[in-house]
A and B are shown apart, each in its own frame.
Chain A
Amino acid sequence: MEVSTDTPKSIWSQILAILGKNPRLSVFLILAVISTALSKGIFLSPANLHNMLRQYAGIGIMAVGQTFAILLAGVDLSQGSVVALVSMILAYLNTSGCGIVWPLVVGLCAGAACGLTSGLIVTRGKVPPFIATLAMASIARGIATLITQARPVYGLSKELLVFGRGTVGGIGIQILVWANVALLGVFLLTRTVYGREVYIVGGNERSANLSGINAHRVKLAAYILSGVCAALAGIVITSKLDMGGPYISLTDNVQSVASVVIGGTSFAGGRGSISGTIVGTLIIAMMNNLMNLMLINPYIQQGIIGAIILLTVTMNQRKAGVR
């Protein structure tokens, strides 16, 4: 912690200074306190917290993959569409008598394939990630709607519903999936050679290439990871909704990017962390949860999330500028 060089200040200004240096934490804490106070404690009830986490597990899983793309100075705008595509594949195969193993395998492969395609377009085709994944989003959504001519698919088998509705030791399975994906992400980024390469390539691609790192391969792997995360989110979301929907997750992509950005990962690449992303997702989840508890006009939810993005990113940049 830094010691203030100014004249001693009141405890409040010191607290403010600490919070100012940890924008994510401060927003998180302030929101938690406000949520608890305004909801008269309901916010902190285990049932409410559990519900909230179950609801945002899908976005949380996407955001972990998104972190890799953004750390590499890219972005994956196709995640929401991949969720819909995987959802349709799962539901269609499951209801046409393929059991549950094949639908899951094909769904995960489809997610990986979408990520691989985006990655190839970015690296081989030299298309900016924004454009490449925007095009991929369009293509994946198109294929998702083509499978049944845009009709949702109902009547999934019971085994498939486990991912969105089952619990292990009282904890929703999708929360466990989220936790595992996040842990795996943290492990990849902090404990493996690949993780170090992600930061190096994201920080400066030229010097990474000069030091013998194959930047293309690092990026390709990141987009595949992002696609697989989207596929996992697709499985969890489909199972929770108990249907395959071609138009689900239309706004989830924005929330996934917002989680990462609120979590302090720099859009220029090279700086950020999965733990930040998780806090980012939790901030969005808490915000929406509080509004629902308070029966606040739902129309301002998007605006509040927008304001939080602007607030935390400005604070992050102040912090980076001070350093």
Chain B
Amino acid sequence: MFQVQRDLERKTAASRLGNLFLPLALAVIIAVCAFISPPFLTQENLKNVIIGSATFGILACGMTMVLVTGEVDLSVGSQVALTSVIVATLAPKSLALAVVAAVVATTLVGLANGILLTKTAMPSFVLTLGTMGIVRSMALVIADGQPVYGVPQSFTALTSTMVGKIPLVGVAMVVMYALTWFLLRYTSLGRSIYAVGSSSESARLSGISARQVKIAVYAMSGFLAGIAGLFYTSYVTLGLPDGGVDYETQAITAAIIGGTSFFGGEGEVHNTFLGLFIVGTVKNILNLMGVSPFVQPVAIGILIITAVVLRTRKSE
């Protein structure tokens, strides 16, 4: 236990140093953006940045936990599509039922991921590649391959609802991040997640069940994918069985730029949050400056590589 604790202390100390880097980077990027493009700091534009990032953001929150345990969840994009199809199909009967059913469904998918992972000891990349296809097919079969109309106006209004000056989806995202932050930092489950990710062996020796921790983390990732899917559905106003493609990549990108290690044991959700907004801001400023949208993926690719290379250099 002491070993685990010392590991944790060392890790937190290291990331505290890193903590200065990300906010600084984001501040510099924002300052540069405000300087080169005055419309950047308008409320309307910032609202767009938040709405544009929120779905990925909620996914990235769950992805961070999964990555910290040393695994990955590629099925969350398909889970977003499944949510949107379930909501649109059931909403005409009862909106409350639809929302609950959708989130329960994705939580179950996450649970199944976790159980399969721990039962078969399959690499999580391969396992979730498989479930990614299966969940996508479920969404396609339920919707018969077509967009599903039937999301009520009251639900589609969710995206445009403002709480004060912040869109509701932004508030929801912040709440999810705050809860996850609390969970990772102040609960025994949170400490177990880091322990399992940094060393399964010492976690086992200190009496932590890696199996239970991983199942819990995948279930939470599924739950968060459901929440993200609700806002996605509200945003696109439809049940889209082929929606959410590649969202897992976006979530991983935010977590990785936020300094989450791909090998487990390291990563914090507030840094993922900063990573999310670094990506969102870069995309937004390229748009505002009228740069061809096709430059965006190139820029994001270079950003990812730079961020990871810088971090590995620093930690050495």
Question: Which A residues fall within an 8 A CB radius of B?
Answer: 75, 121, 125-128, 130-132, 134-139, 141-143, 145-146, 149-150, 254, 257-258, 261, 267-268, 297-307, 309-310, 313-314, 317
Quick check: B298 and A314 within 8 Å, CB to CB?
no
Chain B interface category by residue count: 35 or more
Question: Which B residues fall within an 8 A CB radius of A?
Answer: 72, 116, 120-123, 125-127, 129-134, 136-138, 140-141, 144-145, 241, 249, 252-253, 256, 262-263, 292, 294-302, 304-305, 308-309, 312
Quick check: B137 and A142 within 8 Å, CB to CB?
no
Quick check: A134 and B133 within 8 Å, CB to CB?
no
Quick check: B295 and A146 within 8 Å, CB to CB?
yes
Q: List 27 A-B contacts (CB under 8 A).
A: A75-B125, A125-B305, A127-B309, A131-B256, A134-B252, A135-B302, A137-B301, A139-B302, A142-B296, A146-B294, A149-B294, A254-B129, A254-B133, A258-B129, A261-B126, A299-B140, A300-B140, A300-B141, A301-B137, A303-B137, A303-B141, A306-B132, A306-B136, A306-B137, A307-B133, A310-B120, A313-B127
Quick check: B130 and A307 within 8 Å, CB to CB?
yes
**Complex: A149 Cα to B295 Cα, angstroms:** 10
Give every chain A residue within 8 A of B302 (Cβ-Cβ): 135, 139
| CB-based A-B contact count at 8 angstroms | 133
Quick check: A125 and B308 within 8 Å, CB to CB?
yes
Partner of A257, one of B127, B129, B294: B129
Quick check: A314 and B122 within 8 Å, CB to CB?
yes
- Using A127-B308, A302-B133 as known contacts, say yes or no to A138 and B298 having CB atoms under 8 A apart: yes
Quick check: B304 and A302 within 8 Å, CB to CB?
no
Quick check: A302 and B126 within 8 Å, CB to CB?
no
A128-B262, A299-B145, A300-B137 known; 13 new pairs, CB 8 Å cut-off, are A134-B249, A135-B301, A138-B301, A141-B297, A145-B294, A254-B132, A299-B137, A299-B140, A300-B141, A302-B133, A303-B136, A303-B137, A310-B122
Quick check: B129 and A309 within 8 Å, CB to CB?
yes
Quick check: A131 and B304 within 8 Å, CB to CB?
yes
**Complex: A297 Cα to B138 Cα, angstroms:** 12
A147, closest chain B residue (CB): B294
B74, closest chain A residue (CB): A254
Quick check: B305 and A142 within 8 Å, CB to CB?
no
**Complex: A137 Cα to B298 Cα, angstroms:** 9
**Complex: A268 Cα to B129 Cα, angstroms:** 16
A251, closest chain B residue (CB): B245
A258 to chain B, nearest CB (A): 7
**Complex: A141 Cα to B300 Cα, angstroms:** 12
**Complex: A304 Cα to B140 Cα, angstroms:** 13
Quick check: A305 and B301 within 8 Å, CB to CB?
no
**Complex: A261 Cα to B124 Cα, angstroms:** 13
Quick check: A309 and B133 within 8 Å, CB to CB?
yes
Quick check: A125 and B312 within 8 Å, CB to CB?
yes
- Using A125-B305, A125-B309 as known contacts, say yes or no to A130 and B294 having CB atoms under 8 A apart: no
Quick check: B292 and A149 within 8 Å, CB to CB?
yes
A243 to chain B, nearest CB (A): 18
Give every chain A residue within 8 A of B123 (Cβ-Cβ): 267-268
Partner of A313, one of B126, B263, B298, B312: B126
Partner of A127, one of B72, B136, B299, B312: B312
**Complex: A126 Cα to B305 Cα, angstroms:** 10
A119 to chain B, nearest CB (A): 13
B47 to chain A, nearest CB (A): 26
A303, closest chain B residue (CB): B137
B74 to chain A, nearest CB (A): 9
Quick check: B141 and A297 within 8 Å, CB to CB?
yes
